Amino acid sequence: MYRKVIAGYNGSDEARDGLALARLLTEASSAALLLACAVRRDFPHAPGADEFLRAQSEASERLLRKPLAWLPPELQAGIRVVRGRSPAHALHDLAEAEGADLLALGSSHRSRLGRVLAGSTAVQLLHGAPCPVAVAPRGYREHVPELPRVIEVGFNGMPESQRALDHASMLAEACHATLRVIAVEEPDMFFGYADVPTYGERGDLERSERERLERALAEALERLPASVRAHGSVLTGNATAVIAAEAEKGADLVVVGSRGYGPLRRAMLGSVSAGLMRSCPCPVLAVPRAAVNDHDPEPAPAGAGSAPA
């Protein structure tokens, strides 16, 4: 399903985690892998800036050649040194220029071992990336599975979550993985009401919302290819906490949609996806709007009782 995967790499242990995730997803889809190191161009007109930038680029190229020795020869891997105002800008421009299908990064060095914590570069990319962005937990390189066996996806019936489900389904089919589809009813999330509902009205709203999620989930599961082993659940609670808790039960990857009212073909983190990028116990992959089908209709506003993706 992927043709080209870009791994942001700066030589740190966390970057090696991101590279391990990029390699896993590259091998699962027989894609080409491009290792990219970003060089900041802070003062382009200062005396000696060109010489300094040239030395930086040469050092970065030497840095990128080291992990090539760790990769199997059958993996199509290349390297690229890119320049920009920031690493995020440089990687963003590279992804657009190369038509990348995925950007993979490691977590911040401040992350707890075994947890995702998107660093500044990942956060900037996640608010505008032209392709899906995957972030590996800290220490992931020590515990990489041969292939993802369980893929979890957050679903709330909205178009952006349907795109995430489509993406997760393609991954699950390529990896022969089990697909868990998690819909979360959040009782305290009611939008569009001028007044706080009474106890009786609240109960009616919660029942209506659960019924909507159950219908949407059943219909979504029915549309999945027969070759995908999938099962779904409607759970209750805080969506971020529930999806993370379900991932603790053995998920190898969590897929989430980005905010439905962000720009087309751009990732825009909503509350749930942002929360998972700060706490998930396995890699998280955020899918931009229209990443699966550019001709999908515009998403409708989020309904009562469900959090945005």
The number of helices, as runs of H, and strands, as runs of E, in the chain is: 8, 10
The structure tokens 């401040």 sit at 110
Length of the chain: 309
Structure token pair of residue 307: 């959090």
What is the tens place of the pLDDT at every residue in 250-304? 999 999 987 644 454 454 567 888 899 998 999 999 998 654 434 343 333 333 3
* Mean pLDDT for the chain overall: 85
Q: Residue 133: name the closest of 143, 145, 141, 123 by CA.
A: 123
Across the beta sheet with 32-40, the strand order is: 77-84, 32-40, 4-8, 102-106, 133-136, 284-287, 253-257, 150-154, 178-185, 229-236
The model's confidence at residue 45, banded by pLDDT at 50, 70 and 90, is low
pLDDT in tens, 126-162: 888 889 999 999 999 999 999 999 999 999 998 889 9
Inform me whether the pLDDT recorded for 100 exceeds 60. yes
d(CA 137, CA 122): 12
pLDDT at 180 over 60: yes
Greater pLDDT, 15 or 85: 15
Locate 125 and state its tokens.
């990319």
Q: Are 76 and 29 in contact (CB under 8 A)?
A: no
**Structural domains of the chain sorted by starting position, each given as residue range(s) with its CATH number in brackets:** 1-137 (3.40.50.620), 145-309 (3.40.50.620)
pLDDT of amino acid 211 = 93
The pLDDT, as a whole number, for residue 302 is: 36
Q: What is the average pLDDT across 184-202?
A: 61
pLDDT at 202: 62
Residue 20 has pLDDT above 80, yes or no: yes
Element (H, E) at 276: helix 271-276
Which has more pLDDT, 127 or 170?
170
Q: How far is CA 206 from CA 271, 304, 305, in A?
A: 20, 9, 7
Q: What percent of the chain clears pLDDT 70, i.e. is strictly above it?
A: 82
pLDDT above 90 coverage of the chain, percent: 62
Confidence of residue 205 (pLDDT cuts 50, 70, 90): confident
CA distance 8 to 94: 11
Cα(195)–Cα(188) distance, integer angstroms: 14
Quickly state the pLDDT bin for 192 (edges 50, 70, 90). Answer: very low
CA distances in angstroms from 143 to 137, 152, 277, 282, 292, listed in the order given? 10, 18, 19, 10, 29
Helix, strand, or coil here: 4? Answer: strand
Given a cut of 50, whether residue 219 has pLDDT beyond it is yes
The CB density around residue 249, as the number of other CB atoms within 10 Å, is 10
* pLDDT tens per residue, range 52-70: 778 888 999 999 999 988 8
Taking the C-alpha atoms of residue 69 and residue 62, their distance in angstroms, rounded to an integer, is: 12
- Per DSSP, the residues of 145-205 read -SS--EEEEE--SSHHHHHHHHHHHHHHHHHT-EEEEEEEE-TT---S-SSPPPHHHHHHH
**Concatenated DSSP letters of 17-39:** HHHHHHHHHHHHHT-EEEEEEEE
175-208 core/surface letters (b: 16 or more CB in 10 A; e: else): bebbbbbbbbbbeebbeeeeeeeeeeeeeebbee
